[in-house]
Amino acid sequence: MEEGTSKSPGHTGVTHPAQACGDGTHGHAPGEGCDYDARQWDVREGCEVRQILDRVADKWSLLVIALLDRRTLRFTELRREVDGISQRMLTVTLRQLERDGLVRRTVHPVVPPRVDYELTPLGATLHDTIQALVTWTEVHQSEIAEARAAYDRRERE
Amino acid sequence: MEEGTSKSPGHTGVTHPAQACGDGTHGHAPGEGCDYDARQWDVREGCEVRQILDRVADKWSLLVIALLDRRTLRFTELRREVDGISQRMLTVTLRQLERDGLVRRTVHPVVPPRVDYELTPLGATLHDTIQALVTWTEVHQSEIAEARAAYDRRERE
DNA sequence: CGGGATCCCGCCTGATACTG
DNA sequence: CAGTATCAGGCGGGATCCCG
Protein backbone atom coordinates (compact mmCIF):
# COMPACT_ATOMS: atom_id res chain seq x y z
CA MET A 1 0.00 0.00 0.00
CA GLU A 2 1.15 3.49 -0.69
CA GLU A 3 0.98 6.61 1.29
CA GLY A 4 -2.34 7.82 -0.02
CA THR A 5 -2.68 11.07 -1.85
CA SER A 6 0.29 12.90 -0.45
CA LYS A 7 2.45 14.42 -3.07
CA SER A 8 4.00 17.71 -2.07
CA PRO A 9 7.14 16.86 -0.11
CA GLY A 10 8.16 20.00 1.70
CA HIS A 11 5.13 21.31 3.46
CA THR A 12 4.44 20.22 7.00
CA GLY A 13 2.82 23.22 8.61
CA VAL A 14 -0.93 22.79 8.66
CA THR A 15 -1.62 24.26 12.04
CA HIS A 16 -5.08 25.63 11.61
CA PRO A 17 -5.27 27.67 8.42
CA ALA A 18 -8.91 28.40 8.76
CA GLN A 19 -12.15 26.69 9.46
CA ALA A 20 -13.63 26.06 5.98
CA CYS A 21 -13.90 22.29 5.77
CA GLY A 22 -17.62 21.95 6.35
CA ASP A 23 -19.79 21.11 9.29
CA GLY A 24 -19.05 18.40 11.74
CA THR A 25 -22.34 16.61 11.51
CA HIS A 26 -23.06 13.65 9.34
CA GLY A 27 -24.99 15.25 6.55
CA HIS A 28 -22.56 16.99 4.25
CA ALA A 29 -22.46 17.42 0.52
CA PRO A 30 -19.27 15.87 -0.82
CA GLY A 31 -17.07 17.62 -3.27
CA GLU A 32 -16.50 20.61 -1.05
CA GLY A 33 -12.91 21.58 -0.69
CA CYS A 34 -11.42 19.84 2.28
CA ASP A 35 -8.32 18.44 0.81
CA TYR A 36 -5.04 19.38 2.30
CA ASP A 37 -1.79 17.64 2.93
CA ALA A 38 -2.94 14.61 4.80
CA ARG A 39 0.55 13.39 5.55
CA GLN A 40 0.53 15.50 8.64
CA TRP A 41 -2.91 14.39 9.48
CA ASP A 42 -3.88 16.52 12.40
CA VAL A 43 -7.21 16.02 10.71
CA ARG A 44 -9.55 18.82 11.40
CA GLU A 45 -13.04 18.02 12.41
CA GLY A 46 -15.40 17.74 9.47
CA CYS A 47 -12.72 16.83 6.99
CA GLU A 48 -13.31 13.77 4.90
CA VAL A 49 -10.62 11.72 6.49
CA ARG A 50 -11.98 12.45 9.91
CA GLN A 51 -15.54 11.75 8.84
CA ILE A 52 -14.58 8.40 7.40
CA LEU A 53 -12.33 7.60 10.33
CA ASP A 54 -15.11 8.41 12.74
CA ARG A 55 -17.32 6.01 10.86
CA VAL A 56 -14.88 3.16 10.54
CA ALA A 57 -13.54 3.63 14.04
CA ASP A 58 -16.99 3.20 15.47
CA LYS A 59 -17.75 0.27 17.72
CA TRP A 60 -20.95 -0.72 15.98
CA SER A 61 -19.63 -0.25 12.45
CA LEU A 62 -16.61 -2.30 13.28
CA LEU A 63 -18.62 -5.17 14.66
CA VAL A 64 -21.09 -5.14 11.80
CA ILE A 65 -18.34 -5.12 9.20
CA ALA A 66 -16.50 -7.90 10.96
CA LEU A 67 -19.64 -10.02 11.03
CA LEU A 68 -20.61 -9.33 7.43
CA ASP A 69 -17.09 -10.23 6.46
CA ARG A 70 -17.92 -13.79 7.40
CA ARG A 71 -21.10 -14.02 5.41
CA THR A 72 -24.24 -12.29 4.24
CA LEU A 73 -26.65 -11.67 7.05
CA ARG A 74 -30.24 -10.59 7.47
CA PHE A 75 -31.32 -7.75 9.69
CA THR A 76 -32.50 -9.92 12.52
CA GLU A 77 -29.45 -12.11 12.33
CA LEU A 78 -27.24 -9.09 12.72
CA ARG A 79 -29.37 -7.87 15.58
CA ARG A 80 -28.86 -11.15 17.31
CA GLU A 81 -25.15 -11.44 16.62
CA VAL A 82 -24.17 -7.91 17.49
CA ASP A 83 -24.94 -8.31 21.12
CA GLY A 84 -26.15 -5.19 22.81
CA ILE A 85 -27.04 -3.13 19.76
CA SER A 86 -30.44 -1.53 19.63
CA GLN A 87 -32.67 -1.84 16.62
CA ARG A 88 -32.31 1.83 15.94
CA MET A 89 -28.54 1.86 16.04
CA LEU A 90 -28.35 -1.19 13.84
CA THR A 91 -30.54 0.52 11.27
CA VAL A 92 -28.57 3.74 11.49
CA THR A 93 -25.23 1.98 11.29
CA LEU A 94 -26.28 -0.10 8.30
CA ARG A 95 -27.59 2.96 6.49
CA GLN A 96 -24.34 4.80 7.05
CA LEU A 97 -22.31 1.85 5.85
CA GLU A 98 -24.57 1.54 2.84
CA ARG A 99 -24.18 5.21 2.08
CA ASP A 100 -20.43 4.90 2.31
CA GLY A 101 -20.52 2.07 -0.18
CA LEU A 102 -19.21 -0.49 2.28
CA VAL A 103 -22.37 -2.55 2.58
CA ARG A 104 -24.92 -3.60 0.01
CA ARG A 105 -28.53 -3.86 1.04
CA THR A 106 -30.73 -6.23 -0.91
CA VAL A 107 -34.49 -6.23 -0.44
CA HIS A 108 -36.27 -9.36 -1.55
CA PRO A 109 -39.86 -8.68 -2.59
CA VAL A 110 -41.35 -11.52 -0.65
CA VAL A 111 -43.63 -11.80 2.29
CA PRO A 112 -42.59 -11.74 4.99
CA PRO A 113 -39.92 -9.25 3.92
CA ARG A 114 -36.35 -10.38 3.62
CA VAL A 115 -33.39 -8.01 3.53
CA ASP A 116 -29.84 -9.18 3.08
CA TYR A 117 -26.75 -7.27 4.00
CA GLU A 118 -23.35 -8.04 2.59
CA LEU A 119 -20.03 -6.31 2.18
CA THR A 120 -19.29 -4.63 -1.11
CA PRO A 121 -15.88 -5.19 -2.69
CA LEU A 122 -14.85 -1.89 -1.14
CA GLY A 123 -16.09 -3.00 2.24
CA ALA A 124 -14.26 -6.27 1.88
CA THR A 125 -10.96 -4.41 1.58
CA LEU A 126 -11.39 -3.53 5.22
CA HIS A 127 -11.05 -7.16 6.19
CA ASP A 128 -7.33 -7.22 6.93
CA THR A 129 -7.39 -3.97 8.85
CA ILE A 130 -10.37 -4.83 10.99
CA GLN A 131 -9.15 -8.34 11.56
CA ALA A 132 -5.81 -6.96 12.66
CA LEU A 133 -7.56 -4.87 15.26
CA VAL A 134 -9.57 -7.78 16.56
CA THR A 135 -6.51 -9.97 16.62
CA TRP A 136 -4.53 -7.32 18.46
CA THR A 137 -7.29 -7.12 21.03
CA GLU A 138 -7.31 -10.85 21.59
CA VAL A 139 -3.55 -11.09 21.75
CA HIS A 140 -3.12 -8.29 24.26
CA GLN A 141 -6.19 -9.02 26.35
CA SER A 142 -4.31 -10.19 29.39
CA GLU A 143 -1.78 -7.37 29.32
CA ILE A 144 -4.55 -4.82 29.34
CA ALA A 145 -6.37 -6.63 32.10
CA GLU A 146 -3.20 -6.54 34.16
CA ALA A 147 -2.64 -2.87 33.43
CA ARG A 148 -6.16 -2.09 34.55
CA ALA A 149 -5.82 -4.07 37.72
CA ALA A 150 -2.54 -2.32 38.51
CA TYR A 151 -4.02 1.08 37.79
CA ASP A 152 -7.05 0.46 39.95
CA ARG A 153 -4.85 -0.84 42.75
CA ARG A 154 -2.76 2.30 42.58
CA GLU A 155 -5.83 4.49 42.56
CA ARG A 156 -7.47 2.87 45.52
CA GLU A 157 -4.61 3.31 47.90
CA MET B 1 -14.25 12.76 37.98
CA GLU B 2 -17.86 12.08 38.46
CA GLU B 3 -17.95 8.98 36.35
CA GLY B 4 -15.92 6.76 38.59
CA THR B 5 -12.84 4.87 37.67
CA SER B 6 -14.37 1.97 35.89
CA LYS B 7 -16.52 3.26 33.13
CA SER B 8 -20.00 2.52 34.32
CA PRO B 9 -21.91 0.48 31.79
CA GLY B 10 -24.65 3.06 31.73
CA HIS B 11 -26.48 3.13 28.47
CA THR B 12 -24.99 -0.04 27.12
CA GLY B 13 -26.21 -2.05 30.04
CA VAL B 14 -24.11 -5.11 30.51
CA THR B 15 -26.70 -7.76 30.81
CA HIS B 16 -24.40 -10.70 30.86
CA PRO B 17 -22.13 -11.37 33.74
CA ALA B 18 -18.72 -10.47 32.42
CA GLN B 19 -17.60 -14.01 32.45
CA ALA B 20 -14.80 -15.07 30.21
CA CYS B 21 -16.11 -15.13 26.72
CA GLY B 22 -12.73 -16.01 25.37
CA ASP B 23 -13.61 -19.42 26.58
CA GLY B 24 -10.57 -20.99 25.10
CA THR B 25 -12.60 -22.64 22.40
CA HIS B 26 -10.85 -20.72 19.73
CA GLY B 27 -7.14 -20.77 20.17
CA HIS B 28 -5.55 -18.44 17.69
CA ALA B 29 -2.10 -17.90 16.34
CA PRO B 30 -0.85 -14.64 17.79
CA GLY B 31 1.91 -13.99 15.35
CA GLU B 32 1.39 -12.85 11.83
CA GLY B 33 -1.24 -13.04 9.16
CA CYS B 34 -4.84 -13.59 10.01
CA ASP B 35 -4.41 -17.25 9.57
CA TYR B 36 -6.45 -18.27 12.55
CA ASP B 37 -10.12 -18.94 12.17
CA ALA B 38 -11.72 -15.59 12.60
CA ARG B 39 -15.06 -16.99 11.70
CA GLN B 40 -15.95 -17.67 15.24
CA TRP B 41 -15.18 -14.81 17.52
CA ASP B 42 -17.95 -14.54 20.01
CA VAL B 43 -18.38 -10.97 21.02
CA ARG B 44 -20.92 -10.75 23.74
CA GLU B 45 -21.30 -7.43 25.36
CA GLY B 46 -19.26 -7.13 28.52
CA CYS B 47 -16.71 -9.68 27.53
CA GLU B 48 -13.14 -8.48 27.60
CA VAL B 49 -12.59 -8.47 23.91
CA ARG B 50 -15.60 -6.31 23.41
CA GLN B 51 -14.59 -3.93 26.17
CA ILE B 52 -11.14 -3.46 24.73
CA LEU B 53 -12.48 -3.24 21.22
CA ASP B 54 -14.90 -0.56 22.28
CA ARG B 55 -12.01 1.39 23.69
CA VAL B 56 -9.64 0.99 20.79
CA ALA B 57 -12.36 1.46 18.22
CA ASP B 58 -13.23 4.83 19.67
CA LYS B 59 -12.78 7.93 17.61
CA TRP B 60 -10.99 9.91 20.29
CA SER B 61 -8.80 7.04 21.47
CA LEU B 62 -7.76 6.33 17.95
CA LEU B 63 -6.81 9.89 17.20
CA VAL B 64 -4.92 10.30 20.45
CA ILE B 65 -2.97 7.08 19.95
CA ALA B 66 -2.16 7.99 16.38
CA LEU B 67 -0.86 11.38 17.46
CA LEU B 68 1.17 10.04 20.37
CA ASP B 69 2.61 7.51 18.01
CA ARG B 70 4.42 10.32 16.28
CA ARG B 71 5.86 11.84 19.42
CA THR B 72 5.34 12.63 23.07
CA LEU B 73 2.86 15.40 23.58
CA ARG B 74 1.68 17.63 26.38
CA PHE B 75 -1.93 18.03 27.36
CA THR B 76 -2.43 21.33 25.62
CA GLU B 77 -0.66 20.15 22.51
CA LEU B 78 -3.01 17.19 22.28
CA ARG B 79 -5.96 19.46 22.88
CA ARG B 80 -4.84 21.60 19.98
CA GLU B 81 -4.05 18.75 17.63
CA VAL B 82 -7.12 16.66 18.21
CA ASP B 83 -9.47 19.11 16.64
CA GLY B 84 -12.92 19.13 18.11
CA ILE B 85 -12.25 17.28 21.32
CA SER B 86 -13.42 18.87 24.52
CA GLN B 87 -11.13 19.24 27.46
CA ARG B 88 -13.23 16.82 29.42
CA MET B 89 -13.19 14.09 26.80
CA LEU B 90 -9.47 14.48 26.31
CA THR B 91 -8.95 13.99 30.02
CA VAL B 92 -11.30 11.03 30.13
CA THR B 93 -9.77 9.42 27.05
CA LEU B 94 -6.25 9.85 28.34
CA ARG B 95 -7.20 8.38 31.70
CA GLN B 96 -8.76 5.36 30.04
CA LEU B 97 -5.74 4.82 27.84
CA GLU B 98 -3.48 5.19 30.85
CA ARG B 99 -5.54 2.68 32.77
CA ASP B 100 -5.35 0.25 29.87
CA GLY B 101 -1.59 0.58 29.90
CA LEU B 102 -1.43 2.09 26.45
CA VAL B 103 -0.32 5.56 27.47
CA ARG B 104 2.14 6.72 30.10
CA ARG B 105 1.47 9.95 31.93
CA THR B 106 4.48 11.78 33.31
CA VAL B 107 4.07 14.70 35.65
CA HIS B 108 7.07 16.99 35.92
CA PRO B 109 7.26 18.73 39.28
CA VAL B 110 7.92 22.14 37.87
CA VAL B 111 6.05 25.36 37.76
CA PRO B 112 4.18 25.92 35.62
CA PRO B 113 3.18 22.25 35.62
CA ARG B 114 4.19 20.06 32.74
CA VAL B 115 2.59 16.73 31.92
CA ASP B 116 3.80 14.55 29.11
CA TYR B 117 1.87 11.80 27.43
CA GLU B 118 3.55 9.07 25.46
CA LEU B 119 2.74 5.61 24.22
CA THR B 120 3.88 2.68 26.31
CA PRO B 121 5.54 -0.23 24.52
CA LEU B 122 2.17 -1.92 24.58
CA GLY B 123 0.51 1.12 23.09
CA ALA B 124 3.21 1.28 20.44
CA THR B 125 2.26 -2.17 19.22
CA LEU B 126 -0.93 -0.60 17.97
CA HIS B 127 1.01 1.45 15.48
CA ASP B 128 0.72 -0.84 12.50
CA THR B 129 -2.95 -1.52 13.04
CA ILE B 130 -3.95 2.07 13.54
CA GLN B 131 -1.77 3.25 10.72
CA ALA B 132 -3.37 0.67 8.46
CA LEU B 133 -6.77 2.11 9.30
CA VAL B 134 -5.67 5.67 8.61
CA THR B 135 -4.01 4.64 5.38
CA TRP B 136 -7.08 2.74 4.29
CA THR B 137 -9.15 5.82 4.94
CA GLU B 138 -6.86 8.02 2.90
CA VAL B 139 -6.62 5.56 0.05
CA HIS B 140 -10.35 5.01 -0.27
CA GLN B 141 -11.42 8.56 0.42
CA SER B 142 -12.59 9.29 -3.08
CA GLU B 143 -14.42 6.00 -3.50
CA ILE B 144 -16.40 6.67 -0.36
CA ALA B 145 -17.11 10.23 -1.43
CA GLU B 146 -18.46 8.89 -4.71
CA ALA B 147 -20.55 6.29 -2.97
CA ARG B 148 -22.03 8.93 -0.73
CA ALA B 149 -22.81 11.22 -3.62
CA ALA B 150 -24.46 8.38 -5.50
CA TYR B 151 -26.47 7.37 -2.45
CA ASP B 152 -27.64 10.90 -1.79
CA ARG B 153 -28.58 11.33 -5.43
CA ARG B 154 -30.63 8.16 -5.29
CA GLU B 155 -32.31 9.26 -2.09
CA ARG B 156 -33.22 12.70 -3.29
CA GLU B 157 -35.11 11.58 -6.34
C1' DC C 1 -39.61 -9.36 9.32
C1' DG C 2 -37.68 -4.88 8.63
C1' DG C 3 -37.72 -0.45 10.04
C1' DG C 4 -40.02 4.36 10.54
C1' DA C 5 -41.80 7.55 14.36
C1' DT C 6 -41.69 9.00 18.95
C1' DC C 7 -40.49 9.76 23.68
C1' DC C 8 -37.00 10.36 26.90
C1' DC C 9 -32.79 10.11 29.57
C1' DG C 10 -27.97 10.58 30.05
C1' DC C 11 -23.63 11.65 27.89
C1' DC C 12 -20.92 15.12 25.69
C1' DT C 13 -19.71 19.83 24.61
C1' DG C 14 -18.86 24.48 25.73
C1' DA C 15 -18.38 28.10 28.94
C1' DT C 16 -16.87 29.59 33.16
C1' DA C 17 -14.73 29.59 37.73
C1' DC C 18 -11.37 27.70 40.88
C1' DT C 19 -7.04 25.02 42.38
C1' DG C 20 -1.97 23.67 42.58
C1' DC D 1 -0.15 24.76 32.50
C1' DA D 2 -3.05 20.95 33.71
C1' DG D 3 -6.45 19.89 35.34
C1' DT D 4 -11.30 19.58 38.56
C1' DA D 5 -16.19 21.29 39.42
C1' DT D 6 -20.40 22.89 37.75
C1' DC D 7 -24.24 24.32 34.91
C1' DA D 8 -26.64 24.90 30.46
C1' DG D 9 -28.12 22.84 26.22
C1' DG D 10 -28.08 19.53 22.32
C1' DC D 11 -28.28 15.12 20.59
C1' DG D 12 -26.98 10.34 20.58
C1' DG D 13 -28.89 6.30 21.51
C1' DG D 14 -32.33 2.95 24.12
C1' DA D 15 -37.08 1.55 24.51
C1' DT D 16 -41.50 1.24 22.62
C1' DC D 17 -45.31 1.43 19.43
C1' DC D 18 -46.85 0.47 15.06
C1' DC D 19 -47.19 -0.18 10.07
C1' DG D 20 -46.14 -2.36 5.25
Cis geometry, peptide bond prior to residue B112 (ω within 30 degrees of 0): yes
Q: Tell me if B53 is assigned to some domain.
A: yes
Strands B114-119 and A114-119 turn out to be: unpaired
Strand C contact with B87 (CB < 7 A): yes
Q: Tell me if B69 is assigned to some domain.
A: yes
Residue numbers in B near A135 (CB within 8 A): 28, 30, 34, 36, 38
CATH at residue A142: 1.10.10.10
Q: Tell me if A92 is assigned to some domain.
A: yes
Q: Tell me if B15 is assigned to some domain.
A: no
**pLDDT, position A40:** 62
Q: Tell me if B27 is assigned to some domain.
A: no
Within 92-121 of chain A, which residues have Cβ less than 7 Å from strand C?
A: 94-95, 105, 107, 112-115
Cβ-based neighbours of A121, under 8 Å, separated by 6 or more? none
How many angstroms separate the CA of residue B2 from the nearest CA in chain A?
A: 15
A13, amino acid identity: G
Stated pTM of the model: 0.79
DSSP for B62-86, written as a single string: HHHHHHHHHS-EEHHHHHHHSTT--
**pLDDT, position B48:** 84
Mutation test of the interface with chain A: which of B148, B152, B154, B155, choosing the one with the most A Cβ atoms within 10 A?
B148
A97, amino acid identity: L
H helices of B5-140, in order, are 48-56, 59-70, 75-81, 87-99, 121-124, 127-139
Q: Is the pLDDT of residue A19 over 50?
A: no
Domains in chain A, number: 1
**pLDDT, position A120:** 97
How many angstroms separate the CA of residue B91 from the nearest CA in chain A?
A: 16
Q: Distance between CA B151 and CA B135 in Å, rounded?
A: 24
Q: Tell me if B80 is assigned to some domain.
A: yes
pLDDT digits (tens, 9 = 90+) for A73-105: 999 999 999 999 999 999 999 999 999 999 999
Q: Which residues sit opposite A103 in a β-bridge? A: A119
Closest residue to D4 (CA to C1') is B1
Q: Tell me if A39 is assigned to some domain.
A: no
pLDDT digits (tens, 9 = 90+) for B122-140: 999 999 999 999 999 999 9
Residue range B81-99: mean pLDDT, rounded: 95
Residue numbers in B near A66 (CB within 8 A): 38, 41
Q: Tell me if A126 is assigned to some domain.
A: yes
| Residue B11: how many other CB atoms lie within 10 Å | 6
> Where in the sequence is the domain holding B116, given as residue range(s)?
46-155
Q: Is the pLDDT of residue B5 over 90?
A: no
